[in-house]
Amino acid sequence: MRRHIAVKKNPCQRCGQKITRPRFVRFCSTECQKEYHRIKEYKGRRNQDVDIRFWSRVNIGENNECWPWTGRIWSIGRKPYGRFTTANGKPGGIKWYAHRYAWTSINGTIPSHLQIDHICRNKLCCNPAHMQLLTATDHALTEYRRRKSR
């Protein structure tokens, strides 16, 4: 026995063409669906919801304490860094190191010739008070001095 599937009469949400697929479909093609979601995600990339989602993954304490990242961790060699994506698991989002997103959300953009140094030496710390901007040379010298003083 064959079932009849109703055809949706509404237009495609992206291009407006008539949909000739089953009624539960919102787009005329997969290309329209992908483009619609890519544009939608781009428009909402740096909204308040992203900041709320980011800071919910940080254990915020006193200003002089470390604020550890509790979300996804990505390791480079033996150095673990927090990892955060603005798209909430959807394609098209920007991937951030957690400490870099924390810095930019509080202090603004990071100049291209500077790097973030963790004063507390905790790579998972997202407290902007525990970070400073250094040139690559100064950052390397600071790391060398820290290793030598162990």
**CB-CB contact of 101 with 85 (8 Å):** no
Q: Which domains does the chain have, with CATH numbers?
A: 9-43 (no CATH), 45-148 (3.90.75.20)
Average pLDDT over the chain, rounded to an integer: 81
- Angle, nearest 10°, between helix axes 98-107 and 48-55? 130
Give the tens place of pLDDT for each residue, 110-145.
999 999 999 999 999 999 999 999 999 999 999 899
Give φ, ψ of 40 to 5 degrees.
-60, -45
Does this model's pTM top 0.95? no
Distances from the Cα of 143 to the Cαs of 7, 134, 135, 148, in angstroms?
A: 65, 11, 12, 9
Other CB atoms within a 10 A radius of the CB of residue 30 amount to 8
pLDDT in tens, 74-94: 887 777 899 998 876 666 678
Which amino acid is residue 37, in one-letter code? H
